[in-house]
Structure 1
Amino acid sequence: MRMRAAALWISFIAAHAVVAWLGWVLPNQPMGDVVLVYEPWSTAAVSGGAVMGITAVWVYPQLALVPMLLARLLAVPLVPLLGLDQAYLIGWAMLVTLCDLLGFAVLVGRARVRRRRAAGWFWTAGLVLLGPIALYRLDAITVPIAIVGGLWLARRPAVGAALLTAGAWIKIWPGAIALAAIAAGRRSLRIAVTAAAVSAALIVVFFLLGADQELFGFLTTQNDRGLQIEAVAATPFLWMASAGAATIDYSIHILTFQIGAPGVEIIASCLTPLMLIAVAAIVALGVWRARQGAPWQRLLPPLALALVTALIVTNKVGSPQFQTWLIAPAILWIVFDRARAHIAAALVLMLCALAFAVYPLTYDGLLHAHVLPIALITLRNVLLILLLVIAVRAAWRVRPTRVARSAQLTRSR
């Protein structure tokens, strides 16, 4: 048992070392957001400039600034030796690795439980297959938070809900796991009240710090966003671009590449309502299955995966780091219901590999509408839709327990 635990922990740590190194040697600036965006934002906050989300409207929720500041703190001792940029990159990698190690400790511990060991190996494989994007993006901070929060929903629902809510105030997606837990029916009121209380407390703190119109800027700033080239809905336009019938343009305002083509604005404007409809439908499915007596631990993982995948499939943005979101609900599925998690887990790993193949390996070709990267991202987007279908189908097919079925018969009489 000690050898198994040691092998798993060593592999997980080695995966971080490899991924961190790849960020320095691969093309297309896989560490670009960290040094070009996170570091200047953190510098501005500590030097009397704009505090993003507080004194300036931001694309992220306010707590996103916290890991950026923590990375800067870790970088301080290295600045005289390496300079601010390189020191900040190392500080960021150290912060993400530390967060992952804490999450890994909660997940596998001494690796005594087989399904938790399997989940640990899955996480390790996902890191390597996704490459540096798994480390050098803000989303990486939220993965261990979502994993620990999701696991603690079983025995510490209030703490788990608080963690997931805090994660949602860094990047929105961990809130989907909390929403799935509410729909799945076990201790729903406690989870909902905790999430509302944590959010209310944070809003009060942000308001006292000076935020007013900036409080929900991360929602309103998305309305004017165009269709990013990696979004699922952008797939046909990429093929049009390869034929010269569409363009790939850079948005200085959003700092991303978007599609330029007739009708693309209409598609982009429809995606947010479509997202809301998809989320509402999946939540309704979860509530229905829960009321039918579906066991909570079998219903939660596919429901959470369906919600998270829906957020990606219906998004105007399709950034490669979104694949990190899938790791957390897949791990919950392996831990809570391993026998039925194999297909979804395999698809998530394939999606990680395809995301890596597109960014950073062939991203320059994608920007020039070359066929190979477009084919790779098309396959990735098709598999995302397939994963959504599989997760929804799995949630639909969760059968009520005998006890719940008997209770339903009793009530009907």
Structure 2
Amino acid sequence: MRATGARRSPAWLPVTWCLTRLVLLLFVLKVYVFPGPDVTSDVSVIYQGWYDVLRTGTFPRGDVTWQYPPAAALAILSPGLLPLLDYATAFYALVCVTDLTVLALLTYAGRRPGRSLRGAWVWVAGVPLIGPTVYARYDVMVTAVAVAALLAGARHPRAMGALAAFGALLKVWPVMLLLAARRRAVWGSALATGIAVAGALVLAMPGGFAFLTAQRDRGTEVESLGALVFHVARHFGWEGTVLLNYGSIEFLGPYVSAVSTAALFLTGAAFAWLVLWRLLARRFEEHTVADAAFVAVLMFTTTSRVISPQYMVWLVGLAAVCLYFPASRMRTPVVLVLAACLVTVLEFPLYFANVVASDGLGLTLLFLRNGLLVAATLLAARALWRATIPRTLPAPVPAQPARADETPVTS
């Protein structure tokens, strides 16, 4: 960034953040009602119900909607830190503070020599594009841990490993931050932190890993890539239904299990590609860890059986860290992800009824949002591969023997 831009950005960043976050708070506090389904019921009903169970010293094992690793209990219990507020208001306040913390981290880091404030701007602009849903889920808290881990990576590898492990125990996906980590200190710290935190939580409250069964039994959610098959098939006589299942609106009926299996196959293929990339990669730069994490999470989000709106904040956070490095190859995929965030708030909650009905508007929004994610994934993977894996050098041309009629040159 130019010096003048660097001077202006810190002044406008907090102003823009305050204005956009005030709007989000007004919506989740229902001062103004955002059109579409009530996105705050997850906090006021589901989270608060889990809170009541967790306070008794056990995980909500009998609730199939509890599909989170054991450290998620800390996020659900966190509103208890603000006893003067009701549960929902305390939760929104904590999410807002966490959001501000991410901005502070990106701004502080972005002002270092050789760094950029573009990452802070991606965070400031990207979060409100997702709409009020982003403040009505605990994903901002998870993303904050992931952002802190990546920013710590270069100077404090042990801190990166510990934060990545803790993030994975909050919501699994931050484990992918370790994909391009090469220092043993990162992996050692991650392993030690994961064992210690998971062990402590499971010993304190039984049932910490019951979420694995619930995740296994999930179907195809209506916003996912695979769901497009059934949205179109409904117009040609497919006899399935749309119901609330395992905490999300899913398709149920003929061939759903086959499409869900295909989604798992795509996820497995993405994992295989990432393993192959890691084995072949030779050029590691300071931004490679962030770029690789962004690509990995893009792949797993796009191929997932569920693409909930709040998943987009994961991508926004990782995109912000990528652009914190001026040399990152992820600029075009980041723009596509931000565009997908804007379409996401249109498909949920604004026109979610149209999505569920599989009408023309709903189909258009889903094809556009998921198409942007697919494009971002392919471009990001291609950029990562080209930046880190050297091309095979052409074989040297063998020397031609001198012809008999040629006189050798002597000195």
TM-score range, shorter chain: 0.7 to 0.9
Q: How does 1:340-379 map to 2 (within 5 A)?
A: 340-379=329-368
Tell me the TM-score normalised to structure 1 length: 0.85
Q: Secondary structure at the match of 1:181?
A: coil
Partner SS state of residue 358, structure 2? coil
2:12 match:
7
Q: Indicate how the Cα distance of structure 1 residues 295 and 36 shifts in structure 2: closer, same or farther if over 3 A, else same.
A: same
Secondary structure in 1 aligned to 2:88? helix
Change in CA separation of 1:115 and 1:11 when aligned onto 2, cut-off 3 Å: farther
Aligned-pair distance for 1:116? 3.4
Letter in 2 for 1:61: P
Distance 1:395 1:2, change over 3 A: closer
> Partner of 1:51 in structure 2?
59
Q: CA deviation at 1:91?
A: 1.0
Query: How much has 1:89 moved relative to structure 2?
Result: 2.2
Matched, 1:276 2:276: no
Instruction: Report the residue type matching 1:239 in the other structure.
Output: V
Deviates more, 1:371-380 or 1:17-26: 17-26
Note if 1:67 corresponds to 2:79.
no
Shift of 1:71: 1.7
Which residue of 2 is the match for residue 122 of structure 1? 122
Deviations, residues 48-78 of structure 1 (Å, cap 9, x unaligned): 375336999931011111122112432x213
Task: State the shift of 1:38 in Å.
Answer: 0.6
Q: Distance in 2 between matches of 1:18 and 1:200?
A: 40
Match in the other structure for 1:31: 40
Distance 2:21 2:386 in 1: 37
Aligned to 2:168: 168
For 1:77 and 1:167, how far apart are their aligned partners in 2? 28
Alignment CA distance shift 1:362-1:148 (3 Å): same
The one-letter amino acid paired with 2:195 is: A
Whether the aligned pair in 1 keeps the contact of 2:69 and 2:209 (CA below 8 Å) is: yes
Residues 149-201 of structure 1: per-residue CA shift (max 9 Å, x gap): 111111111101211211111111111112x233xx3x1x2211111111111
Which deviations, in whole Å up to 9, do the C-alpha atoms of 1:1-60 show, x marking residues without a partner? Answer: 6654232112113222112223331120121211121111102222x3753369999310
How far off is 1:282 after superposition? 1.1
Change beyond 3 A, Cα 1:57–1:349 = closer
Q: Is the 8 A contact 1:248 1:257 kept in 2?
A: no
Aligned to 2:396: none
CA distance in 2, matches of 1:348, 1:57: 28
Q: Does 1:196 align with 2:205?
A: no
| Aligned: 1:91 with 2:80 | no
**Aligned-partner SS, 1:235:** helix
Q: How many pairs align?
A: 381
Q: Which amino acid aligns with 1:208?
A: L
Structure 1 residues 208, 353: closer, same or farther in 2, change over 3 A?
A: same
User: Which amino acid in structure 2 is aligned with residue 19 of structure 1?
Assistant: L
Cα distance in structure 1, aligned partners of 2:302 and 2:64: 29
Q: Does 1:77 align with 2:84?
A: yes
Specify whether residues 147 and 38 from structure 1 end up closer, same or farther in structure 2 by C-alpha distance, changes over 3 A only: same
Query: How far has the Cα of 1:98 moved from its partner?
Result: 1.1
Aligned with 1:17 (options 22, 38, 47): 22
Asked if structure 2 preserves the Cα contact closer than 8 Å seen for 1:50 and 1:56, the reply is: no
The change in CA–CA distance for 1:228 and 1:340 in structure 2 (over 3 A counts) is same
Identity of aligned residues (%): 27
- Answer yes or no: is the 8 Å Cα contact 1:309–1:326 preserved in 2: yes
Kindly report which structure 2 residues correspond to 1:221-260, keeping only aligned pairs within 5 A, or say none.
Answer: 221-252=214-245, 254-260=246-252
Give the alignment's Cα RMSD to 1 decimal: 2.5
Aligned to 1:82: none
Task: Give the corresponding residue for 2:3.
Answer: none
